[in-house]
Amino acid sequence: MDAEASRFAVAERTPSPSSGGGAGIKIRGLAHSYGDLRALEDLDLEAAPGAVLGLVGPSGCGKSTLLELVAGLQEPTTGEIEVDGSGDAAGRLAHCAFMPQRDLLLPWLSAIDNAALALRNRGVSRGEARRRAAAPFARLGLAGFEQARPAELSGGMRQRVAFLRTLVAEKPVLLLDEPFASLDAITRGEAQQWLGRALRTDPRTVVLVTHDVEEALYLSDRVAVLSSRPGQVVDELSAPAPRAADRDAAITDPDFIAARERAMRALRGSPAR
């Protein structure tokens, strides 16, 4: 508890924790089982400070489990996970903010209060928390919707508020669990653009779990392809143009298409090149 509190203090003193190096993630020899069920096996992954690591894999490959392990919500059966040098669960928890697959906005709170939730949990007054959430809120195009209840927002806007809630937590590491899975194709494309923009202006170390190879390749610096259970890395590739300002150009570039083909082949279980 004290260790956690002091880690916060560090995060609080550094307004933009990731700007100067920030937290990297190192995963070594990781395996995790639930009883007899082996969820993850023999994983080695790394994300440099401020880099986005994309994870794609079939349903049930343990991607969500991996996020929970990184977040310090559980301890792995074997192996090591380090977030910014912290190996223990409490330390990792203090460094990570988690965005669940469904937005899980609290329906009784206004949009701005949902975005400011982490600050309120830390004891920041309501007014101060709203004030601190206001600038990123407007940057994501939500100005004017501060007082709206989640039920009054569109699916795309709800995801933006959910992302803001993660961002405003002011943690160096963001863990995004299929953040746009519930959106239609057009809204998802827009969502990838605003997320790319947000990470360009306010870089954080991100682990992005998704079903969508294109989404992973556009938003990430490196993409790891996982096999079905037990999840293992079957291929790892560098993205050609991470978070490029012109998404349409980026995703139609031949290098991008080649990378996408390779990732798709790895996903389908063909041997990687």
Partner 1 sequence: MKRWLLPTIALAGLIGLWQVAASSGALANLLNVDDFLAPSPAEIASSIWENRTLLAENAWVTIKEIVLGFACGVAAGLAFAVALRLSDTLRRALYPLIVASQAIPIIVFSPILLVWFGFGIGPKLVVVALICFFPIAVNTFDGLRSVDPEATKMMRTLDASRWQILWRVEAPSALPQAFTGARIAATFAPIAAIFGEWVGANTELGGLGVVIRQDSALLETARMFAAAAILTAIALILYGLVTLAERRIVTWR
Residue numbers at the binding site for partner 1 (CB under 8 A): 8, 68, 71, 73, 93-94, 96-102, 104, 106-108, 117-118, 120-122, 149, 151, 165, 169, 171, 175
Q: Cβ of residue 72: shortest distance to partner 1, in angstroms?
A: 8
What is the phi/psi pair of residue 63, to 5°? Answer: -65, -45
Whose Cβ is closer to partner 1: residue 40's or residue 259's?
Answer: 40
Residue 109 and residue 25: Cα distance in Å, rounded? 33
176-209 CB burial, b ≥16 within 10 A, e <16: bbbbbeebeeebbbbbbbbbbbbbeeebbbbbbb
Q: Cβ of residue 49: shortest distance to partner 1, in angstroms?
A: 19
Q: Cβ of residue 185: shortest distance to partner 1, in angstroms?
A: 24
Q: Cβ of residue 199: shortest distance to partner 1, in angstroms?
A: 18
Whose Cβ is closer to partner 1: residue 108's or residue 135's?
Answer: 108
Whose Cβ is closer to partner 1: residue 73's or residue 264's?
Answer: 73
Whose Cβ is closer to partner 1: residue 129's or residue 226's?
Answer: 129
Q: Which helix (H) or strand (E) holds 154?
A: none
Rounded to 5°, angle at Cα 239 from 233 and 243: 125
Rounded to 5°, angle at Cα 101 from 80 and 146: 120
Taking the CA of residue 202 as centre, how many other CA atoms within 13 Å lie in the half-sphere pointing to its CB? 21
Whose Cβ is closer to partner 1: residue 107's or residue 271's?
Answer: 107
Q: Cβ of residue 152: shortest distance to partner 1, in angstroms?
A: 10
Residue 269 and residue 37: Cα distance in Å, rounded? 21
